[in-house]
Amino acid sequence: MSVRKLYAAAAVVALSNATLLCKTQSQPNPIAADYPNDPTGTVNGTIAILPIPYSIARSIIPSEYPILTRAISSILPHLPADEYPAFLQLDIDHDVQASGISIPDFLQAKILFPFVDRLGDGYTSMMYGSQGLISADNLVAVVGSSVYGYVVTGGTFDPPCDAYGCVEGSEDCEEKYFNAYSALDILREQPKIGINFTTTDNSPYSLDVFKNITNQPQFSANKLLCDQFIRLFNSSVTMPPYAPQAIRAQVSAVAPFFAQTTSWSDVYGFQLDNAFIEHNLVQCDSLQGYQFTD
């Protein structure tokens, strides 16, 4: 390694250790006082649907759980039958607190698999995940995901304190980007997940599609316990001037998210902030029939 590369690496390590000192542009948690006993916070970033071949989804989702194809076609009627809607979530978890105790902000990148029949009842949609890339310096967040059975990769992010930034030279910040790296990739040679996006008026998906997907109870390798993560769409951080904006994006993801490097040149989603309430370590069985309404 050249001296110059070593210096670059040292600078990146120093930078990534500075997440604690990061100053995010996100607004504070608006609902902490309303739900004093539950963990609450905000998730500010981008979400999108990544169409993938059904066969790849089937190879990632554990074979004992059916996929609720009828629910998929009722919510996403235009998705071809041989495709499956993987769900991309890139965000900063900000101002997370419970019973007056706050945890430091962290960034995360996940690709999740909704519409899974985790309970075998033929109708309750839940969302499976196996891999998460989470700020390497946030032990609470890393352990918090591991408990559910996620394999967590410690990450560093560009930009470091927000879930997207302006592409340099883009006029009026029309083009935005975000890159999530393994913390071991100290030279940042290859993002594990990267996104470039602009806002659009031509999204094929309504916000309701994402209200449904983001509110499906989440589970990973843990055979018993689910994460009931409730995203609210009615708090001040999801209202003008912070209303969700539809986006059109280019995305790339590499292992461990997909066995093969995968890129999408034209996917759709939203740039948005949501307040959330999280019911941790809930018995999955108790969530049978859960539906989100706001």
Ligand X SMILES: *[C@@H]1O[C@H](CO)[C@@H](O)[C@H](O)[C@H]1NC(C)=O
When binding is defined by CB under 6 A, the residue of 17, 69, 190, 291 that contacts ligand X is 291
Using rule CB under 6 A, residue 125 touches ligand X = yes
Closest CA to 251 of 145, 200, 178, 199: 178
Which amino acid type is present at position 100? G
| 293 contributes a contact to ligand X by CB under 6 A | yes
CA angle 111, 115, 119 (to 5 degrees): 115
Cβ 173 vs Cβ 29: under 8 Å: no
Binding string, 138-177, against ligand X, x = CB under 6 A? ------------------------x-x------------x
Rounded to 10 degrees, what is the CA torsion of 46, 48, 50, 51?
-170
71 binds ligand X (CB under 6 A): yes
Regarding 25 and contact with ligand X (CB under 6 A), the answer is: yes
How many CB atoms are located within 10 Å of the residue 66 CB? Answer: 14
CB 44 within 8 A of CB 26: yes
Determine contact, residues 101/40, Cβ cutoff 8 Å. no
Taking the complex as a whole, the smallest distance from the CB of residue 263 to ligand X amounts, in Å, to 7
Q: Output the smallest distance, CB 239 to ligand X, in A.
A: 9
Residue 251 in the binding site for ligand X (CB under 6 A): yes
96-104, 197-205, 219-227, 234-242 -> range binding ligand X (CB under 6 A):
234-242
Stretch that binds ligand X, among 23-31, 50-58, 181-189, 280-288 (CB under 6 A): 23-31
Question: How do beta strands 131-135 and 126-128 pair?
Answer: unpaired
Member of 273, 276, 278, 287 binding ligand X (CB under 6 A): 273
Q: CB under 8 Å to 204, separation ≥6 — which residues?
A: 78, 268
Nearer to ligand X, 145 or 216 (CB): 216
Please, which residue, 12 or 88, has the CB nearer to ligand X? 88
Which residues are paired to 282 by β-bridges? 226
Examine residue 292 and tell whether it contacts ligand X (CB under 6 A).
Answer: yes
CA–CA gap between residue 111 and residue 267 (Å, rounded)? 14
**At which residue do the structure tokens 């008026």 appear?**
201
Give the footprint of ligand X on residues 94-123 (CB under 6 A). 123
| Distance, CA of 207 to CA of 225 (rounded, Å) | 28
Q: Determine if 91 is a binding residue for ligand X (CB under 6 A).
A: no
The yes or no reply on residue 75 touching ligand X (CB under 6 A) is: yes
Interface residue with ligand X among 135, 212, 218, 220 (CB under 6 A) is 212
Nearest to 8 by CA among 191, 189, 186: 186
40, 156, 203, 215: which one binds ligand X (CB under 6 A): 215
Element (H, E) at 140: helix 139-146
48 binds ligand X (CB under 6 A): no
Residues that bind ligand X (CB under 6 A): 25-27, 44, 71, 74-75, 123, 125, 162, 164, 177, 194-196, 212, 215-216, 232, 234, 237, 242, 250-252, 273, 291-294
